[in-house]
Amino acid sequence: MREGRRARRRPDVRDEDNEPAGHSSPRERAHWIARSPTRAALVSALAVGAVVTLIPANGAASNLATGFVRAVRHLASTSGGQAFAGTPAVGVLFTASAGRLGQHFCTASVIDSPDGDLAITAAHCVTSTSGTVDFVPGYDNGHTPYGVWTVTKVYVDQAWNSSSNPDDDFAFLRISQPGSSVPIEDETGAEKLATGTPASRQLVQVIGYPNASDQPVTCQNRLTEPMADQLEFDCGGYTDGTSGGPFLSKVNKSTGQGMVIGVIGGYQQGGYTPQISYSSVLGANAAALYKTAVAGG
């Protein structure tokens, strides 16, 4: 299986030698997500108020209870000054064999779709894969709170297939759970997919699962566009395994849900150093590929 990971920095190359033309030092300090203590009463009130936003676009009123549970779980995991424990719709890709999870190697996110069964990651994570790949949403320190799901189909752009064009380093995954007809979006909620919208200078939260850890990292900063069709996010800690991690804008602090405007990948397959991460701009090709995935082509 081709390794779907951020390219490793060569020890004989300095950081500035890897920077694209026009790159400058970060103009705004990145902000690690702070977790302040939250009173139980406030948690409950926020969870009740957030239920409506948790229902996927194709959800029904019967999913209100599930949405409430998701809100409470997210709030509980992000309070009290604890380490970031993840968010339901973002998880990790694992190799799998004989029904057992192997090594995790990339990050992916459930995105809203009519059938509720799609996720997005980087194309270099899933190109030329062999064998079974499983997705574990909300993975946290060995726990699988929303179950283990199987990737049944991978969609990548033709430009990536033909030449591994870094401007098309994104992929959509069809995901299901053996023996169940319940779509993953009904269990985890979903991030919205945003294509064709200006992304430079947007404030984003980026989530990724390093290979060396069983917990995710997250940070906030504003994006820059150092070259055509590429976005840059500056914050440390995004090592191998964080490829495919979402660039989330307009994040709802109560639910953890937002809009995916990029995924770690693209230039240098996401970046040579943990401090600088890249993403392909999600434009017309990403929108067309999403339509293909929705149609099941």
- Do residues 6 and 243 lie in contact, with contact meaning Cβ atoms separated by under 8 Å? yes
Is residue 259 in some structural domain? yes
150 and 255 share one domain: no
Residues of the chain with pLDDT under 70: 1-82, 297
pLDDT in tens, 146-190: 999 999 999 999 999 999 999 999 999 999 998 899 999 999 999
Residue 66 lies in a domain: no
Tokens representing residue 188 in the block: 């985890």
d(CA 120, CA 152): 13
238 & 179 share domain: no
Are residue 200 and residue 264 in the same domain, yes or no? Answer: yes
For residue 196, is it within any domain? yes
Q: How many Cα atoms are found within 13 Å in the side-chain-facing hemisphere of 232? A: 24
State the total domains in the chain: 2
Tell me, yes or no, whether 291 and 173 share the same domain.
yes
Rounded CA gap, 68 and 21, in Å? Answer: 47
pTM of the shown model = 0.76
Residues 274 and 237 in one domain: yes
Residue 42 lies in a domain: no
> First vs last Cα of the chain: how many Å apart?
24
pLDDT of residue 33: 46
b/e code 22-61 from CB counts within 10 Å (16+ = b): eeeeeeeebeeeeeeeeeeeebeebbeebbeebbbeebee
Which residue range is the domain that position 277 belongs to?
191-284
Closest CA to 234 of 201, 191, 192: 201
What per-residue confidence (pLDDT) applies to 131? 86
In a domain, 45, yes or no: no
- Same-domain check for residues 175 and 291: yes
**Length in residues, the chain:** 297
User: Does the residue 253 lie in any domain?
Assistant: yes
Distance of CA 139 to the CA centre of its chain: 12
DSSP state of 267: G
Is residue 206 within 8 Å of 246, Cβ to Cβ?
A: yes
**What's the CATH code of the domain at 95?**
2.40.10.10
The amino acid present at 241, given as its one-letter code, is G
- Residues 196 and 273 both lie in one domain: yes
The answer to whether residues 149 and 291 belong to one domain is yes
For residue 256, the model assigns a pLDDT of 85
Residues 156 and 291 in one domain: yes
Smallest Cα–Cα separation from 173: which of 256, 106, 86, 88?
106
From the centroid of its chain, how far is CA 251?
13
Does 67 map to a domain?
A: no
Strands 118-121, 171-176: parallel, antiparallel or unpaired by DSSP? antiparallel
Q: Residues 196, 245: one domain?
A: yes
Tokens of 212: 């060396």
In a shared domain, residues 145 and 274 = no
Residue 204 counted as domain residue? yes
Q: Both 167 and 210 in a single domain?
A: no
pLDDT for 82: 58
Q: What tokens does 13 get?
A: 């190359």
